[in-house]
Amino acid sequence: MAVFSPKIGGVECYVVINNDALRMVEVIEVHNDPRYKDWIGRFKKPDVGMFVVIRDLLEERLGARIIAQNALMIGDSWQDERAALDFGIPFLNATHVHANTVLHSALDKDHFFYKIPISS
């Protein structure tokens, strides 16, 4: 799953889900979903709108909950760090990941922001 907000001002948010089992890619225009009308303009980091979308999709599709003990935001900017902390999950600077091969092997599917499993 990938979530991104391509427009300046964070007014749009898209989710791309690759479902290998069905051999299809699903694109969801989240900004058109009435549930997220209050998040329009706040999808880009340092705001947490994208995290709200990820949280909701994980709960709906996988029955998984994002909490500080099972989630990790890896990023390379102050915006990434601020969004993670405001959302209540730990932040790890990407330079630590690139420089540490032991950490690479420690990250697995249970850390939702590193690798998100696709439900079938």
pTM: 0.72
| Domain locations in the chain as residue ranges | 2-106
- What is the Cα–Cα distance from 119 to 116, expressed in whole angstroms? 9
5-14: pLDDT as tens digits: 888 889 999 9
Q: What are the CB-based long-range contacts (under 8 Å, 24+) for 5-10? A: 5/43, 5/44, 5/49, 5/50, 9/41, 9/44, 10/40, 10/41, 10/42, 10/43, 10/44, 10/47, 10/49
- What is the Cα–Cα distance from 18 to 65, expressed in whole angstroms? 20
Is-contact 64 109, C-beta < 8 A?
Answer: no
Task: Grade residue 105 by pLDDT with cuts at 50, 70 and 90.
Answer: low
| Cβ-Cβ contacts under 8 Å for 57 (sequence gap 6 or more) | 1, 15
33-87: pLDDT as tens digits: 999 999 999 999 999 999 999 899 889 888 888 888 888 888 999 999 999 999 9
